A and B are shown apart, each in its own frame.
Chain A
Amino acid sequence: MTSEEIYTKLQPIIAAYLPEDVSAENIKKDADLTQELNINSAHLVDVVLDVEDAFDIELSNNDLESLRTVNDAIAIIANKVEN
Chain B
Amino acid sequence: MKNRVVITGLGIVSPNGVGVEAFHSAIRDGTSGIRHFPELEELNFSCQIAAKPEVSEEQKRKYFTDLQLRNFNSSGILYGVMAGMEALEDAGIETAGKNDEPLWDLGIIFGTGTSGTAKFREAIYLLDSGKVKRLGSTTVAQTMASGISAYLGGMIGAGNQVTTNSSACATGTEAILMGYDLIASGKASQMLCGSCSDDGPVVWGGFDAMKVLTWKHNQDPEHGSRPMSATASGFVPGSGAGALMLESLTSAQERGAKIYAEVLGGHVNNGGQRQQGSMTAPNSSAVQRCIKTALEVSGVGGHEIDYINGHLTATVKDPTEIRNWSEALDRKGADFPYINSLKGMIGHGLAASGSMELVAAVLQLHHGFIFPNSNCEDLHPEISAIADRSRIPTQTVSHPLKTIAKASFGFGDVNACVIFRQNSI
Contact = CB atoms under 8 A, between A and B. Distances in A.
Interface string B201-230: 000000000000000000000000000000
B interface secondary structure, majority: loop
A64 to B, nearest CB: 10
B133 A49 contact: yes
B375 to A, nearest CB: 47
A7 interface: no
Contact of B70 (A18, A19, A46): A46
B136 A16 contact: no
Interface in B39-90: 65-67, 70-71
B274 interface: no
A17 to B, nearest CB: 6
Interface size class of A (residues with CB under 8 A): 10 to 19
A40 B138 CA distance: 12
A42 B68 CA distance: 13
A62 to B, nearest CB: 14
A21 B136 CA distance: 23
A66 B312 CA distance: 59
Contacts of B70: 16, 46
A21 to B, nearest CB: 8
B137 A43 contact: yes
Nearest to B98: A21
Greatest chain A CB density within 10 A among B66, B70, B137 is at B137
Contacts of A21: 98
Given A18-B67, A40-B137, 15 more contacts: A16-B67, A16-B70, A20-B65, A21-B98, A42-B137, A43-B67, A43-B137, A45-B133, A45-B137, A46-B136, A46-B137, A46-B138, A49-B133, A49-B134, A49-B136
Interface of A: 16-21, 40, 42-46, 49
